[in-house]
Amino acid sequence: MPAHESSAVSPFDQFKAWMSEAEKSEPNDPNAMIVATATPDGRPSLRAILLKGVDSRGFVFYTNKQSRKGIELAANLNVALLFHWKSLRRQVRIEGRVETVTDAEADAYFASRPRISRLGAWASQQSRQLESRAVLEARLAEMEQRYPDEIPRPPYWSGYRVLPETFEFWQDMPYRLHDRTTYHLTASGNWVQTKLFP
């Protein structure tokens, strides 16, 4: 199928439709996604985290900016996401670049987290070596004493918005003749839709 600018369904609308179906069928965390980052010299790493927001601008997740992924994103803004909904036999691949969310966005989401999760953001030196579980528990107890009431957002904790440049929607089909639809963002800001061989 030749490439054409899609006037029917935007990739964001398509994603939201598939996510809505996944929320009804996936037993756990339909918003789980694999996030792939890379070092400046191209060494990749990936991990599963939770999507916390999506709109026409992009896909938002939150983390410790001093974690491995935070350090890699500071040096290399390119990122890839993968959603895999096994119950629906579907996956969505997204590639783009990240920007940091606003302080207001990060503050609002941080305030919505359970108290222990907010204390944990202070207690955990994410991605650094941990001598024992007891050390983490002691740090958590220390933070409970330090912040008996309001818990401010740590300065090193924030969110990232992935600004997509490409999408691929993959649907399992019989005999491995899968359906693959891609969207690419043009310089003019339009999405061009294509089909790929399975």
Sketch the domain layout of the chain as residue ranges: 4-112+156-196
Place of tokens 């305030």: 111
Closest CA to 134 of 122, 118, 144, 123: 123
Q: Tell me the CA distances in angstroms from 168 to 85, 89, 118, 195, one per residue in order.
A: 14, 14, 35, 9
> pLDDT tens per residue, the chain (198 residues)?
345 444 347 999 999 999 999 999 998 999 999 999 999 888 999 999 999 999 999 999 999 999 999 999 999 999 999 999 999 999 999 999 999 999 999 999 999 999 999 999 999 988 888 899 999 999 999 999 999 999 999 999 999 999 999 999 999 999 999 999 999 999 999 999 999 999
Q: Alpha-carbon distance 58 to 72, whole Å?
A: 19
Place of tokens 């929607």: 169
Any idea which residues carry the catalytic annotation?
Answer: 176
* Global pTM exceeds 0.75: yes
User: What is the DSSP-derived secondary structure letter of residue 187?
Assistant: T
Q: Alpha-carbon distance 183 to 8, whole Å?
A: 12
Type of residue numbered 115: R
The CATH superfamily assigned to 4-112+156-196 is Electron Transport, Fmn-binding Protein; Chain A (2.30.110.10)
Backbone angles phi, psi at 103, to 5 degrees: -60, -40
Bridge partners of 33? 49
